[in-house]
Amino acid sequence: MPPRLSSLSRAATTRRTVVGAALAGLAAVSGCDAGRGNDDDGSGVSTATDPDTALVDRVTAEVTALAGLVASAAVTYPRLAPTVRPFRELHAAHLEVLGAERSGGRAGHQSFDGAAAALREIRLREQRSQQRLVAASLAARSGDLARVLACMSAGTAQQLALLRPAPSGEQAG
Partner 1 sequence: MTTLAALQTTLAAEHAAVYVYGALGAQTSRSATPELYAAISAAYAEHRARRDVLTRTVADLGADPASSAASYELPARLDTPERVTRAARDLEEAAAATYASLVANTAGARRRWAITALNDAAVRVLAFRGTPEMLPGASEYADR
Q: Contact residues for partner 1 (CB under 8 A)?
A: 2-3, 29-30, 32-41, 86, 89-90, 93-94, 96-97, 134, 137-138, 143-144, 146-148, 150-155, 157-159, 161-162
Strands (E), 102-144: none
- Of the pair 68, 143, the CB lying nearest partner 1 is at 143
CB 73, min distance to partner 1, A: 19
Task: Return the DSSP state at 66.
Answer: H
Q: Residue 118 is which amino acid? A: A
Task: Determine the Cα–Cα distance for residues 169 and 18; give it in Å rounded to an integer.
Answer: 48
Distance separating alpha carbons of residues 97 and 91, to the nearest angstrom: 10
Least distance from C-beta 118 to partner 1, angstroms?
21
Q: Give the dihedral sign, CA 36/55/92/119.
A: negative
Q: Please give the single-letter amino acid code of residue 64.
A: T
For residue 6, which of 60, 75, 71 has the smallest C-alpha distance? 60
Residue 42 Cβ, how far from partner 1 at the closest point, in Å? 10
**Shortest Cβ 98–partner 1 spacing (Å):** 11
Comparing CB distances to partner 1, the nearer of 76 and 130 is: 130
Closest distance to partner 1 from the beta carbon of 114 (Å): 27
Report the phi/psi class of residue 105: left, alpha or beta, with left for phi > 0 and alpha for psi in -120 to 50: left
Nearer to partner 1, 165 or 172 (CB): 165
Which C-beta is closer to partner 1: that of 32 or that of 172?
A: 32
**129 within 8 A of 39, measured Cβ to Cβ:** no
Closer to partner 1 by CB, 89 or 113: give it. Answer: 89
Q: In this structure, what DSSP letter does residue 80 have?
A: G
